[in-house]
Structure 1
Amino acid sequence: MDHLNRHKVSPYLLTRSLLPENQETPIQFINNDTIVNKLFFRRNHFSYPTLSLRNYWLPINGTVSKPIILSMQDILQLPSKTIQVVLECSGNKRSLFEPKVFGEQWEKGAISQGFWRGVPLRNLLELAGIREGAKEIVVEGYDFGERTDQNKEVFTYARSLPITKALHPETIIAYEYNNQPIPFKHGYPLRLIVPQWYAMASIKWIKQISVINSTFSGPFQTIDYVYYPNKESNKDPFPVTTINVNSTIQKPLDMEILNTGKHFIKGVAWTGNGVITKVDISVDGGSNWLNAKIEPPKNFIYGWQSWSYEWTILRKGEYLIMSKATDSYGRRQPAVPLWNKKGYGYNAIDKIKVKVE
């Protein structure tokens, strides 16, 4: 047995930074639809919070008929639902932007997915009663720290959702991931899960929920997670919300050396609205496009779609392989991404190079 274990090799997270901890999923080595806890990407703005879990309570206050404070026991007794959701950091693939942009230089692994179980946020808000005039729901985490762009002022990580998104039946307050309590590093004991939106909205370590009758203006909403498409100024900004249609080639690896013969090109595709309907592959740098085979869709519409293409290579040389996904709203990956100052939402056609010897 020891002899066998010595030869068993498992992938690791790819470290971008340690303080705060930011690590990528080794997406090129993932071959199933559920990412185990230890390989789920980690994205933090600050150090991990210190929580006293023995007396954890969740307040819901603000523009409500009856402010309430719920215990974990209260929440666990409410009707729950389980949804498979892909969470993608809005900075995923940031390192691919040209010209380069500042920020965590994520490659292709700031994305993971699995099964989240929890209580619809709307059910909790109904217990408190949303009053007329309410505009947004603010969810605040326990993580906090200084911001260099705000004279080192201390902020907690907090963001808001418009009422319609907060009341969507599958926006949930989750307490389990893959049938286990959410791991501490991913938001234990409670994490907001917002399907279809980039993961900055899925707030970890929830401290409180507030209903407001104004527009939330915290820095993680009005400074960060905003597209600034103008290189010279901050003109025409707009918020980062829905995930762009996207795909990633997992196999072969970029710059891999292959033999002639039969190879499978494999990958995943995903989108924020609708479902993936088509993935096209090119093995000649975009001159010709071929239909990849899409795995039969699952019942869960918020996950990624696995795809593959059987490629027979007869000639030696260098090949540029590309993947381009299309969703049910007709959105497709562009040749060039929308460049923006903070490097969000990269979704250009994916590319890798291989050499055949």
Structure 2
Amino acid sequence: MQTIAAVARQPHADFTIETLDVAAPRADEVLVRIVGVGLCHTDLVFRDQFVPYPLPAVLGHEGAGVIEAVGAEVSGLQPGDRVVLGFSSCGHCARCDDGLPSYCSDFPPLNYAGGRLEDGSTAFSAGGTPVSSHFFGQSSFAAYTVVRARNVVKVVDPDAPLEILGPLGCGFQTGAGGVMRSMACPAGSSIAIVGGGPVGLAAVMGAVIRDCATIVLVEPVAARRQLALDLGATHVVDPAAGDVTAAIRAILPGGVDFAFDTSGRVAAIEAALAALAPRGMLGLVGVPPKAEDAVAINIAGMITYGQRVVGIMEGNSDPQTFIPELIAAHRAGRFPFDRLVTTFPLAEINAAIDAQKRGDCVKVVLIP
């Protein structure tokens, strides 16, 4: 069969809309008709070769859709099932057994190899030439894609808005999970969140769910600061207005219990670290501009105050349990992520990228 897809052919270049051939799903795969797919900064990071990825490629890793066909060895899934697509993991290593599949020992090859690990084949081709697939196990910038069955999370709520659920598979679960699972912020605690994009605002909503007493968002765009307040942040800081550490400590002189950086910017991370209270924890999820970027840490100060810095992948989430939890929270009005979403046709992906970069919208969802 064939599908329309947004193809990355060159770093730092526009995606091209093309018709590709799609292979039939193998024994452990499913064919999914995509109804919506989130646009994530990570897609652009890989397109632009921050992490090497074989081009041409179909990227996209926040898909949601309907199963059209299943492989011979797939159980528990069938055509017609509504699904969200998560990241790929092996299911049998020590971290997967711990319920932490985002730290799977095979996470990089399963998600970043550009094809099937067993033989290097791809699900997409153009005129007989392979086009890289299986990005995060799914490559969902397409109307149809072939996905590892383990990536698939069934949506049992018939009223859940399927076309905008895809970002729960990465950005939203990273932000919410970072607060709710990785750092497990307790009720009454304080948190400073750096960056008011999709991940940061999901973290704000996660902090509200966890009943954090003080929720500070650091964000330069005024509209996003206001949205954070609407979503439950107690304070906002404009980093352009001056010293971010001083601004946070003006709100909480003793420092914050938790800080969560979504920016990847060294100066922002160091400002958040300097705002920590004794025994405070800083969680890092933002991709830095350069792979060699590093943060300076005062070793004596960290020892003296018992402070902690942790890297966080996908919010420590097990998609099979956490995505349904977020869908239920949305239904209950406690995780209103739909307020962050603006939809664009998949064919307008380049315009959508520009709009998101300008700050015209918070989270783009592309509709094939």
Q: Give the structure-2-normalised TM-score.
A: 0.28
Greater helix content: 2
